[in-house]
Structure 1
Amino acid sequence: MTQQLILDLLPPSPASLDNFVAGDNDEVLDALRNLRPGRAIYLWGPAGAGRSHLLQAVATGGDALYFGREDTAAALKEIATSEALHYRLIAVDDVQHLDDDGQAALFTLYNRWREVAAADNGFALVLAGDRAPLAMPLREDLRTRLGWDLVFRLELLSDDDRAQALRKRAGERGLQLSPEVISWVLTHYARDMGRLSALVDALDRYSLEKHRAITLPLLKDLLASSQPTKESDNS
């Protein structure tokens, strides 16, 4: 099944701390809500645990920056070495993918962060990767900096947490998902809530389009209709 095509049916809701399903990660949410300039947080955990969601959620507004995997080392270096920084927060995602230039830029940014931590122009750092600081495939001096302040491991949601989140997401759209539908989704679909939320949104639209109630056959029809045709596979 082509899960990415399901996501393309409806864009996911903008990431926020309020729509992050915490599960066993309440301590992480509390730390991010109370983050102040001069502090740093490094988040790590498996794919689907919500690392990117949380970084995008805190890096909102004109006084915050988010650097994702697609951003260049040059852009990060420009920020790290600029004469004046007017940001309250800088977030750097997927640090495990940084090349040598990207690592050098992040090293410079960390040093800049520490120099101004107690000053009026201090800023917060939030970073994320797929493993603990000392296990990161990065230069040694950068690995140690990842652990300079707060470090949290993000835990995947349990099936009960995901089921509750699915029901809540559906309820927000005026829908009711049967236990059969929820059980099938939890068994056969993606684990992360971004994809699961997009699936609920797509189901809502598809049921309206087809004038049918949301049932397991309708869900399977939606997934089948989202698979590429043989012609597109061969193009």
Structure 2
Amino acid sequence: MRQLVLDLGAEKPPTLESFVVGQNAELAQLLRHFARRTQPAPADRFVYLWGEPGAGKTHLLHALAAEGNGRYIPAGSPESDYLYDPAVSLYLMDDCQLLSADAQISAFALFNQVKENGGLLVSAGDKPPVGLALREDLRTRLGWGLIYQVHGLTDEEKISALTQAAQARGINLSPGVLPYLITHFRRDMRSLSAMLDALDQYSLETQRPITLPLLRNLLQLEGEPKA
């Protein structure tokens, strides 16, 4: 079976520039300040992101961590990742809803250390802090600062973003390709962008234009079920 798309580890790393903003303009602006380490008001040094899977929370955290002096902390990280380090100016905690009992204690301590030492912390979960099944003191910490819902893109916004990406790269797409793709493939933008790259490569290999039959053929080769 061909594996043009599924090797996500070979993709370009997430950046703030590659995040499709959609309805998240205010949040994107704030996180650009965080990336530049522009010091916000004390109450705004903590940001909590929540939203459905695929909305872009993890993308944003990885992008911020890659800006330098940032530490990405996924759920399941060792206790050492939660230890405060003066050399780290920005902490990024992901999937807070999955924190174990011990990790919740470590995360609580990290919040206090960041507050005392003037750092920045962005955390994320699948629902607002009040809805998380976590210890009460940690829920309070998660709600300390600004809380943003990360809104997923509508189908129209996904098609628009993919169309712009294709035009920028000189990729010609036949009508119907993108509407079919977003209803028969994974719906997150990372996977959709990877499939656009794969379509371009497959088109060059087969010397065929990017049409609906070509897309269907590639999806079959990839063994992708309908989304």
TM-score, structure 1 length as denominator?
Answer: 0.85
1:91 alignment partner in structure 2? 92
Amino acid of the structure 1 residue aligned with 2:11:
P
Letter in 2 for 1:151: I
Letter in 1 for 2:123: L
Cα-Cα RMSD = 2.0
- Bigger relative contact order, structure 1 or 2, given CA contacts below 8 A and separation 6+? 1
Q: Deviations over 1:97-131 (max 9, x none)?
A: 110111111100001011122xxxxx210111100
Give how far 1:75 is off. Answer: 2.6
Question: Is the Cα contact below 8 Å between 1:23 and 1:157 reproduced in 2?
Answer: yes
Q: 1:13 is paired with a residue of what secondary structure?
A: coil
Query: Residues 10 and 202 of structure 1 are in contact (CA less than 8 Å); yes or no, is this contact kept in structure 2?
Result: no
Matched letter for residue 105 of structure 1: S
2:191 paired residue number: 195
Report which stretch shifted further, 50-59 or 170-179: 170-179
| Contact 1:167 1:176 survives alignment (8 Å) | no
2:134 corresponding residue in structure 1: 138
CA deviation after TM superposition for structure 1 residue 64, in Å? 1.1
Q: Aligned pair 1:161/2:157, yes or no?
A: yes
Distance, in Å, in 2 between the alignment partners of 1:181 and 1:10 is 25
Q: Which runs of 5+ in 2 are unaligned?
A: none
2:6 aligned counterpart, secondary structure: helix
- After superposition, the C-alpha distances for 1:49-91 in whole angstroms (9 at most, x for unaligned) are 000000011111441111123532x2323x23xxx52112111
SS in 2 for 1:179: coil
The letter for the 2-side match of 1:48 is G
Q: Do structure 1's residue 226 and structure 2's residue 222 form an aligned pair?
A: yes
Go from structure 1 to structure 2 and tell me whether the alpha carbon gap of 1:10 and 1:220 turns closer, same or farther (over 3 Å shift): farther
State the 1:45 CA deviation: 0.3
Whether the 8 Å CA contact 2:71–2:90 is kept in 1: the answer is yes
Task: Return the match for 2:209 from 187, 207, 213.
Answer: 213
Counterpart in the other structure of 2:17: 18
Partners of 1:41 and 1:150 within 8 A in 2 = yes
SS of the residue corresponding to residue 186 of structure 1 reads: helix
Do the aligned partners of residues 61 and 141 (structure 1) sit closer, same or farther apart at CA in structure 2, a change above 3 Å counting?
A: same
